[in-house]
Structure 1
């Protein structure tokens, strides 16, 4: 052994000894006190555990929130590649809760793949013809500028909606001219007074822009119902701070409730005011459904006021976000199926369904998801995380850290260079177009040439080892106006909740 090698070994041994001594006396980590130096191997394995799990251990259909089969489908569609697979399904078709669609012995030829629906109730003077599949609410700040630009370009090329998210209407949402839903959360970003109220003049200036086609009041979201949006301070750049009007030295936490209204009736009147200020554009609300009586209170206010939102977007508890407390994600809010059917039944039974477009958001990634939600009552669908994947997201689940490895959910200028707008924008369009095309093909196989021909008995769900039922039989469906004039056949629990619903209070 040479003197140089001996010296290097001595330096290394000394360094390791110093680390070992420090580990033995430090009070914070029990592992290192008992296993100095060697304990760091445990921390390393823990750090790379998600990657090992995702790439080497999970089966194609195991991963959450989105399994590998779903992610691969999104990536291939975004790239314009064939997404066919060989050798049959890997799913357990008999698993309780598994849902399938009912094919017809008289399938039809697939119709025009440009599925659209008109959004705008009787009080709306500027209704909008929307794609059935659109980009859900994601804010600049939560997403990088390049990710927002790519989505905006894709939406402009594909003629579908881009929801701004509650973080404000920014130059990135306006760059390529896509049609927009401007989302107003409880922070009223882009239309905010110094004390956090709605600035009507700022609202009018933005709401009357040609690109803004619809306005959405966010009451709550699936991943964290009951609390406001959170943008960690690590992602608040000078630009984000200027857009939102918030400081950079603390997390940006929106209020849990809107300061402009506190009762169902006040919410309905607020919707009416914003519709008038916007020049007659569709104004709606987004919520994760909680207590059924509270939603019925909103319906009662709509009935008594003779007006209401033009659209209601139901966000399922399985929906995602960049940052939310674990227990809020796991334990609060209705899943999309339950929430969607609650809203559908409530609107139908109170005679309001014909005047309201119903949206659905929460793990909608493929054509079958679109068709399932159409069967359950939705008219229009929104996707967030799948659109992130279309621009390169790898489900690293580091959205809240500012260290997104592919530049989608970060404000780091170096990291977001990975999102090439000229490449990723067309990917968003291709993913949208291929998914809508697949939804149309599935409906055609079911014998339906349009969503209007879909019926509840065209979907099935497994309820047990030997029991599968159609949606028509598995779920309860109320009839038009049933709660306004209940009969002996009207479900007693719905009658009870309707009687408890108060247009002047969300309290149950």
Structure 2
């Protein structure tokens, strides 16, 4: 537990003892030991306090971070977070989450700090007849046709596995989700005891490794799945096809990182690399995917089941939709993960150059379902750099029903984006399995921050919806979002994005090149096009 993180504290404590001993012998005055003694006391208080993970992990030294924070956030950035100008989230976005998680006022004097003349600037068009809504608990029903439908919040915790995050981080997220009544996605690492401790609602992600429901050879075990899926805590089940940060790529958890607890949670042996394949072994075609979804529904007691993907080749998703039309087996929901999504285990080229960004992927999924006459029966979730209330409003306006956020909730736990997730040396105890570092994250305190971040973000969303004169987030449309496209011209998003009309694809009204070129060659019986 006591590593180099405590070097300064131990050095001062030893100095304090040495000076005290010299004072006792009369060799020096007691005044010489006063300052080291006070610093030692301060360090002990740092370790014992529960509000700041940085101080628990870095007694005394951690105060420099807060000193720089008071002077100027940018100084803190470079001294304690690294030069993250190219990081997935800006300093302002992180600061906003910290403020909301702590319950601080997030209003701003002297107007916007954004350049409203900059190309790409966006805003919500407001109404002269704003609405007044009773509360900010916006929900949509997923799986209305199922025996166990679920009223999901429009803002939820996105997929982050136990193993990637610490046990305390998982516990805090779930406790916050339980208090706020929103959904906690397990990630592909399955359901751990830490997910179950506080009883928060879960979206169980079933990925290609079938962790938590696998045979020894890595294939799907339906008995193990049914045992976990029937838990009242599991509200949704997601078949993960691909992840935004590394679509089309599997993963490996090295044997050295597999603890007995992770081994039991995932159902993998100790001492062997845990391999997550790039593809599923349970199906190989669009029709096979839908049949697998139907199987999971039956095994779970008819709970809502859907799939998650980062959109790649258009004809592959078109083939899935054609399979829906051919079999009449529909997923209850589809989660679109944009390539903006992050992870501590993605190759650089995949992060920067593989996968469709959220706006384009979401629009394609929404349009295709509309054109096939299926949109009213299938809900759409979205994830990928969604962090503010405006992000949620914009994403729903484009075509989603709800949003998931990973990094936003990590920030609410205290993540400072040090980008050391892969080193197991996370300074705040969020993304580590090191027991010493993990203990710095105090669950009750951070769970309250998770809850507050969710509530304050939804409150801000309520104010946006009211300002737009709307009754619910479900009324948001692309024409409610305005975008600057040059110094002297703005357009509604509905003018910039291309939308299909209901039934267009069924009637042969392809309208746009992507459908004209790829819809005819998409196949329900294969992910490969009919060339």
- TM-score, normalisation: structure 2: 0.83
Contact 1:234-1:402 within 8 A present in 2 as well: no
Q: State how far apart, in whole Å, the 2-side matches of 1:234 and 1:465 are.
A: 54
Aligned equivalents of 1:288, 1:240: Cα separation in 2: 26
Q: Which residue of 2 is the match for residue 364 of structure 1?
A: 386
Q: Is the alpha carbon distance of 1:278 and 1:420 closer, same or farther for their aligned partners in structure 2, counting shifts above 3 Å? A: same
Comparing 146-155 and 73-82, the one that deviates more:
73-82
Q: In the TM superposition, what whole-angstrom CA distance separates every residue of 1:35-82 from its partner, at most 9, and x where no partner exists?
A: xxxxxxxxxxxxxxxx97933699999562111111111011111111
Q: Which residue does 2:94 correspond to in 1?
A: 71
2:142 paired residue number: 119
Aligned-residue CA RMSD (Å): 2.0
Counterpart of 1:96 (choices 100, 108, 119) is: 119
**Measured at CA, do residues 184 and 497 of structure 1 come closer, stay the same or move farther in structure 2, by a change above 3 Å?**
same
1:419 aligned onto 2:441: yes
Residues 8-50 of structure 1: CA deviation (Å, up to 9, x unaligned):
xxxxxxxxxxxxxxxxxxxxxxxxxxxxxxxxxxxxxxxxxxx
**For the residues of structure 2 that align with 1:60 and 1:201, how far apart are their CA atoms?**
49
Q: How much has 1:109 moved relative to structure 2?
A: 1.8
User: Alpha-carbon deviation of 1:87?
Assistant: 2.1
Paired residues of 2:336 and 2:381 also in contact (CA < 8 A)? yes
CA–CA distance in structure 1, aligned partners of residues 251 and 297 of structure 2: 24
- CA drift at 1:495: 2.8
Q: CA deviation at 1:294?
A: 1.0
- The Cα of 1:232 is off from its aligned counterpart by 4.4
Write the distance in 1 (CA, Å) between the matches of 2:104 and 2:179: 19
TM-superposition CA deviations, 1:317-360 (whole Å, max 9, x none): 00111211111101000111111001010000001101111000
Match of 1:437?
459
Is it true that 1:501 corresponds to 2:528 in the alignment? no
2:404 pairs with 1:382: yes
SS at match of 1:411: coil
Q: Is the 8 A contact 2:82 2:418 kept in 1?
A: no
Equivalence for 2:371: 349
Does the 8 A contact of 2:208 with 2:281 survive in 1?
A: yes
- Name the counterpart of 1:458: 480
Whole-Å Cα distance in 2 between the matches of residues 355 and 291 of structure 1?
24
- The whole-number CA distance in structure 1 between the counterparts of 2:233 and 2:131 is 36
Q: SS of 1:504's equivalent?
A: coil
Shift of 1:144: 0.3
Whole-angstrom CA distance in 2 between matches of 1:459 and 1:447: 13
C-alpha displacement of 1:492? 4.5
**Shift, 1:288, TM fit:** 0.5
- CA distance, structure 2, for counterparts of residue 59 and residue 370 of structure 1: 28
CA distance in 1, matches of 2:256, 2:431: 12
Give the one of 226, 239, 247 matched to 1:225.
247
1:334 aligned partner:
356
Structure 2 contact 81–418 (Cα < 8 Å) conserved: no
For residues 419 and 164 of structure 2, the distance between their equivalents in structure 1, rounded to whole angstroms, comes to 13
Give me the whole-angstrom Cα distance separating, in 2, the residues matched to 1:187 and 1:58.
34
For 2:256 and 2:501, the matched residues in 1 are separated by 50
| Partner SS for 1:381 | strand
State the Cα distance separating 1:251 from its structure 2 match.
4.6
Q: CA deviation at 1:273?
A: 0.7
State the TM-score, normalized to the length of structure 1: 0.86
Partners of 2:440 and 2:195 lie apart in 1 by 19
Give unpaired runs (5+ residues) of structure 2: 1-73
Structure 1 residue 96, shift from structure 2 partner: 2.8
Match of 1:172 among 182, 186, 194: 194
* Structure 2 residue 177 is matched with structure 1 residue 163: no
Partner residue in 2 for 1:470: 492
Q: In the alignment, which residue of structure 2 is the partner of 1:284?
A: 306
CA 338–493 in structure 1, closer or farther in 2 if over 3 Å, else same: closer
Instruction: State the shift of 1:291 in Å.
Output: 1.5
Does residue 294 of structure 1 match 2:312? no
Deviation of the 1:97 alpha carbon: 2.7
Within 2, Cα distance between the matches of 1:445 and 1:63?
33
CA contact (8 A) 2:178 2:201 kept: yes
CA distance in 1, matches of 2:252, 2:429: 19
